[in-house]
Amino acid sequence: MAAIQKTSESTYIFLKIADNTLDDIDRQFGLENQLDLDSSPPPRYGLGALERLPLEIIHLALMQLDIQSFTDFRRVNKRTRLITNSIPQYRNILIHTPELIRGIINIETARNFSCQDLYKKLSTAECDHCGEFGGYLYLVTCHRVCLLCFTEETDYLPLSRKDVMRKFGLESELLANLPRMRSFPGRYSPREIKCRRHETLFDHSAA
């Protein structure tokens, strides 16, 4: 998320800092542009057996899916995109943070949490670690964090494969069960540091 500052008890502003976060990388993946399908011609294909279920039940089930499964379902056909578009929480995510799901998919953490988990974190303001205002999301496991905790607490500093094996003495096969992310190539930080490779990083607290 872009840098945010709390200016009063109920007011937050976006800081005009070119911090080059994940939000600013790879704007090609246009999930956010697909909300306006509602006025286009009706879909030719339906939901199959799922059509028998009430819409509310489908919404509840979809919100419990991990974000990758949710996105895969969304891509099946136009009807599934319309169904996902009609979920109020998902609409709000796309309207208010259109770059967020794209970023989650790019760093390959979309299997680690559900749309419901993500919406819940976006609907709160406090850092999960210290309770102060949290303007950032730690997207390996979907935690809301403040800048201080995000940059200094070891729980939010994911480790390379080599480091996690050395620090915790874990065998290579045990790493398969740990939440992880893959870095996405691009230029990051106000200094535009170039990240060229896909590097796999593991969640510290789960290790």
Applying CB under 5 A, among 1, 110, 142, 149 the residue interacting with Zn ion is 149
Of the listed pieces 21-29, 83-91, 141-149, 184-192, which binds Zn ion according to CB under 5 A?
A: 141-149
Task: Residue 86: name the closest of 111, 55, 42, 112 by CA.
Answer: 55
Q: Which is nearer to Zn ion, 33 or 154 (CB)?
A: 154
Q: What's the residue count for the chain?
A: 207
- Enter the DSSP assignment of 122: H
69: left (phi over 0), alpha (psi -120 to 50) or beta: alpha
Of the listed pieces 16-24, 40-48, 126-134, 174-182, which binds Zn ion according to CB under 5 A?
A: 126-134
CB atoms within 10 A of CB 80: 20
Q: Which is nearer to Zn ion, 127 or 178 (CB)?
A: 127
Q: Site for Zn ion (CB under 5 A): how many residues?
A: 5
Tell me: does residue 146 bind Zn ion (CB under 5 A): yes
Tell me: does residue 137 bind Zn ion (CB under 5 A): no
Q: Which is nearer to Zn ion, 54 or 131 (CB)?
A: 131
First to last CA, the chain: 25
Tell me: does residue 159 bind Zn ion (CB under 5 A): no
Task: Residue 153: name the closest of 127, 177, 176, 116 by CA.
Answer: 127
Q: Which is nearer to Zn ion, 81 or 121 (CB)?
A: 121
Q: Which is nearer to Zn ion, 127 or 139 (CB)?
A: 127
Applying CB under 5 A, among 15, 61, 130, 174 the residue interacting with Zn ion is 130
Place of tokens 């967020």: 100
Applying CB under 5 A, among 74, 129, 143, 204 the residue interacting with Zn ion is 129
Task: Residue 180: name the closest of 155, 153, 161, 200 by CA.
Answer: 200
CB of 131 to Zn ion, least distance (A): 7
Q: Which is nearer to Zn ion, 90 or 203 (CB)?
A: 203
> In angstroms, rounded to a whole number, what is the distance separating the alpha carbons of residues 12 and 133?
10
Sign of CA dihedral 154, 12, 17, 113: positive
Positions in 44-103 near Zn ion (CB under 5 A): none
Phi/psi for 203 (5° steps) reads -65, 130
Judged by the rule CB under 5 A, the positions of this chain that interact with Zn ion are: 127, 129-130, 146, 149
